[in-house]
Structure 1
Amino acid sequence: MSEIKLDIALPDDRPAIAKVLADPLVRQRAHLLVMPDPTAVAMLMDSVHLLTIRYDGRVVGIITLDRVSTDCWELGYLLNRADWGRGIMTTAVGLLCDRMKPGTQLTATVDNENVASQRVLIKNGFTRVRDDGERGIWIYKRDLRQSNIRV
């Protein structure tokens, strides 16, 4: 597999991130309401921790981290549709988990129908903790106080 890198998003990354956001299906699956332009990306970068996912040197996706509490973060992610099914997101989320400080908890919200995203989380040691049937979503959690063993 080609090299996958996870980096803090920089201002120079805004056009590439906007390009990733240009696909409405990708934004919908990630429940992201950001418009695909560099100005909107700048506002996103100011509101959450934003990481770029690079595959062979090009930005193919992003990971967002939004602080819920002192040691808990809400994880969000999206990937170019052309790069779905290659294991890129599974690897990127794994890289993120390996970099998080011990004692951190991560949560993620996934649509019931988004089986691929559920697999990404399960392969990275997340467990399904709640079903919000009214909204059609699952809540996943990973407590990094526990072992980093991946399923």
Structure 2
Amino acid sequence: MSEIIIEPAKNNNNLGAIVKLLDDEKLTQAVGLLLPLQEEKRTQAIKMFIRHNHVMVVKLNEDVVGMIVLSAWYGDEGKRIAHHYELGYLLQRDHWNKGIMTSAIQQIISILPSKITIHAECKQSNYRSRRVLIKCGFIYDKDDLWQRIIK
């Protein structure tokens, strides 16, 4: 397998590659990401998303093939919970089943500080994503929620 590189979306000129990645309507629907259809509004929405979340791009052979997002976690009462984050990720469909996202998430986890909890939502029918979470040390919590405590 080629080298998988993870880098912050904010620090690099990756906006065009992210917009292109998110042009795959089947992919964005699969992860529940709703974006405007008009190109200019879509690009602005993606810029805003990157600005307000920890977004990393996943590169393979210098090409952006996926992204990983860590965003604030809000409890049942709608209040931000300190040291808790929600994990989201997506990968170009032609790169599925190659271990790329598992490796990328493991890289991210290895550099996270201790004493945080990462939550991920994954539908029971999404067996590929469930396999990634299991391989990355997440445990099933309840409903469609998984979590990983970084010790």
Task: Pick the TM interval, shorter chain.
Answer: 0.7 to 0.9
Quote the offset at 1:49 in angstroms.
1.1
Corresponding position of 1:103: 115
Question: How many angstroms apart in 1 are the aligned matches of 2:118 and 2:49?
Answer: 19
TM-score computed with the length of structure 2 as normaliser:
0.87
Quote the offset at 1:40 in angstroms.
2.2
| Runs of 4+, deviation exceeding 4 Å | none
- Match for 1:31: what amino acid? G
1:39 matched to 2:21: no
- Match for 1:19: what amino acid? K
In the TM superposition, what are the counterparts of 1:85-104 in structure 2 within 5 Å?
85-104=97-116
Question: How many angstroms apart in 1 are the aligned matches of 2:45 and 2:98?
Answer: 28
Quote the offset at 1:100 in angstroms.
0.7
1:143 matched to 2:141: no
Quote the offset at 1:58 in angstroms.
0.7
What RMSD over aligned residues (CA atoms) do the two structures have, in Å?
1.3
1:12 matched to 2:13: yes
CA contact (8 A) 1:67 1:74 kept: yes
Quote the offset at 1:56 in angstroms.
1.1
Q: Secondary structure at the match of 1:28?
A: helix
Q: Secondary structure at the match of 1:51?
A: strand
CA contact (8 A) 1:34 1:44 kept: no
**% identity of equivalent residues:** 33
Question: How many angstroms apart in 2 are the aligned matches of 1:124 and 1:113?
Answer: 19
- Aligned residue pairs: how many? 139
Corresponding position of 1:79: 91
Of residues 37, 51, 59, the one that matches 1:54 is 59
Gaps of 5+ in 2: 74-80
| Structure 1 residues 99 and 34: CA distance shift in structure 2, 3 A | farther
Corresponding position of 1:149: none
Quote the offset at 1:46 in angstroms.
1.8
Deviations 1:61-90 (A, max 9, x none): 011111122211000000111111111101
TM-score computed with the length of structure 1 as normaliser:
0.87
Q: Secondary structure at the match of 2:6?
A: strand
Question: How many angstroms apart in 1 are the aligned matches of 2:94 and 2:49?
Answer: 23
